Amino acid sequence: IVRPPRASHCSECNNCVLRFDHHCPFVNNCVGQRNYRFFMGFTTSVCCLAIVVLPSLAWLFLQVQTKRLSSGTLTNEPILEYSVIALAGLAALAALL
């Protein structure tokens, strides 16, 4: 059996992949010749989502803080704190993988 150039066996999913690049844990699939375009589309859409969500979350956080300071009371806004904790957890997971 002749092996094509850059073909490799993935130990994660136990498949032979033509022009193997890497095994992506986020999509749980190997990135190779047939799905490289879709993987780049996925990473581009995630970056576009981050460009929209992170400034929006920062704006919301600043609005809540200015409301707290102007009213003089420290009201609880648990949704904001939970969203910051969730985003920090996702960032830590992404850094780990």
The CA–CA distances, whole Å, from 2 to 19, 27, 30, 83, 93 equal 14, 30, 21, 52, 39
Question: Per the residue annotation, which of 10, 16, 24, 47 is the catalytic one?
Answer: 24
The CA–CA distances, whole Å, from 48 to 9, 42, 51, 52, 54 equal 32, 10, 5, 6, 10
Does the annotation count 30 as an active-site position? no
Residue 40 CA neighbour count, 13 Å, CB half: 7
Q: Give the residue numbers marked as catalytic.
A: 24
